[in-house]
Structure 1
Amino acid sequence: MTLLDVKSDFPLLNQQINDHSLVYLDSAATAQKPQVVIDAVSDYYKYDNANVHRGVHTLGQRATDAYEGARETVTQFIHAKDSKEIIFTRGTTSSINIVARSYGDAFITAGDEIVLTEMEHHSNLIPWQQVAKRTGATLKFIPLEVDGTITMTSVKETITEKTKLVAITHVSNVLGTINPIKDITSYAHDLGAVVLVDGAQAVPHMAVDVEELDCDFYAFSGHKLGAPTGIGVLYGKAALLNQMAPVEFGGEMIDFVSLTSATFKELPWKFEGGTPIIAGAVGLAKAIDYLQTIGFDKIAAHEKALTNYAMSKLKQLDGVDIYGPEERCGLITFNLTDVHPHDTATVLDSFGVAVRAGHHCCQPLMKWLNVTATARASFYVYNTFEDVDLFIDGLKQAKEFFGDVF
């Protein structure tokens, strides 16, 4: 399989938008689903739909096997040591909130420091703001360089012996910046801090090895790599997860219950209260299988080629402001000078080109960039050089339109 022939695997992309072929450049928000994932979810509901870990009947056993098989797939996918370190959640946001509520509230106290960056998605900022409010801890931010990167010099100037936790994105959803997670983790550990990584924008695009990174927690969402919405993963080192209390209580996660007390299951099930996201896990496993069949080396190379091609085309246009470093993951955030990004995105949509416009759930970063909002084109395995050409043609049309207006 080559990267240039996979678009046909994604049925949604074969449609017209405003009488133009769809060019989908919003995969950083959510990726489209290959037919094999759609079929896997459909087949689960057609043939295997039952609750897990409960019934001894055949359907219950098949559903349980599929669900726990998905956990094994994820374990191998991110190179975790043990499947007990893989907790299924509703997504990256849910995963981070579990750590904030369980680890944060129990182990962070007044006088401790929580270190983040100004490029964090709200999902990796607001939970820590709330922990700081509840505990009296202090928030600190690793400063950004002018190109939107961070240096180890700045890391070492920010993380101190008072730092209890570092929460940082692997890849910025706005700038495309790829942060040096392994080096940051090593330094943080030397000072006794634990490290949580927001991997939402990394896992779809590059091979991730949590053992090599040595991070303590790693969170990501299935829908950004072609799985269904509503399924996510929290990886945590078993030694830490075993010290943490559940944050949701009810069925599925209990061991023994009396009228006045309860005990809870071991990892990972103590964090998975209620009927789990079974079909989502099935879809996630199939999405991982699909991407691994292609190969992440090929995916990364293709996205790099698309991004470089698009950057070269954008730089040939006057009146386009581009944000972020030269070396980046597969997205480009930009603005047409003096044009609101919502207007830019609306004109592009009229030509069938879908891009994101807004603050991208990164309002502090927008302030750092000195803008209220930006437009963003993000690329994935199914995009082509023709998609980039149509995107650039649409931008030229937008520039002409707003040039006439202004």
Structure 2
Amino acid sequence: MLCEECQKIFCGRQMLSEIYFRARNPHHSSLQSIIDASASGCWVCHRLLASLSREIDIKDTLAEISPLIKSSTWHFYRVSDQGRWFLTFRFGDDYFHDLHVMSHDEYGGPYTNHASIAGDTTMSDAALAQASKWYCECLLKHTTCTTSPASGCLMPTRLLRIDEDEKHARLVVTKEKVAQVSHYSTLSHCWGDSDILKLTISNLESFKAGISLEQLPKTFIEAIFVARKLSIPYIWIDSLCIIQDSDDDWQTESVSMEDVYGNSILNIMATVSKNSHEGLSRSRDPKMLELCPAIQSKWEDAENDLFYLFNKEIWNDRLYSGPLLKRGWVLQERVLSPRSLHFCDSELLWECREMASCETYPAGLPNVCKKKNFKARPLSVSKFYERKYLIDGANKTMKGIAYDRWIRTN
């Protein structure tokens, strides 16, 4: 639903301009009014309040009644060369929130709400059920993905076997295993500064006997749980599968990263976690995954239609809100793996060679939100080297591998 103040935007005169910031039209007269509208279920005000809460402490602001955000205004404008309409809400000059406006005919995609079953964490049963649906659909229906390197037979030197009791894992040397390893997952994560359990020369044999999951950091435990939920029996985690105090092992394994990620069946990505202890799970407001209800305009001076409001930058906003994708080496992990499941602040994102989806749009991003398919598009060497930060700090061997990979994918 929309509150009365938000409904007024689509009634009376159509206050649409071709110039950004040309006019500011009154919206709610106070911050408390927006809070009340949000609590009553207004789709727009709920998002305005969430956006503002990321910038300031709402309780402190209410107490102080800052004149800069005493009330809200809106501005409806069109970018003529793109044919797109935008609605910008402002609190004074410092805080604003943009929404894209699109007619029913322009939207070009299924418009179905799923938030009622989203769950209040990104590890909820509903969230993982959606992840399983993406995963199974990709395996069964995506021809581009099923013919990817993930169908190859080259295995990492070591993998973690997830025991059925879900309390232990065992390090498996794949060449020593009698039964063939069919498929495995990988984990992309930020190590952080904290000390974590690592594979070393001294504990190699004990890792083969078994590792209690209680010894592992939260991110590892939850990644193992996700793999188990998806019926993936093995997982590769760098700190547990590469001998950390052996230069020889590092040298051997570092040149195999293309095969490790390229032949995995799924890469689980701790996208917003800055260290291994933060985990994959995040508390969330399921209402933020709801789609805006269709709005029937009632303008007196313009053609009327059904309209939808949405955040066209939802993909980038979710992906790049955390530290993981700022790590240069993760770019290779993301490109090489045929499928990626991102655990973000408010929802799960899915990436494969045929589809980009999120829980808000589980059947695929609508046309206006779509970005170029990151996993499918070719990457040029020149563009890669223009972004020097991507390989700063990497050793010469890693740079050579990266260069070779970009040559082969171009």
- TM tier, shorter chain? under 0.3
Task: Judging by fraction of residues, say which structure has more helix.
Answer: 1
Larger Rg: 2
> Structure 1 length normalisation: TM-score?
0.23
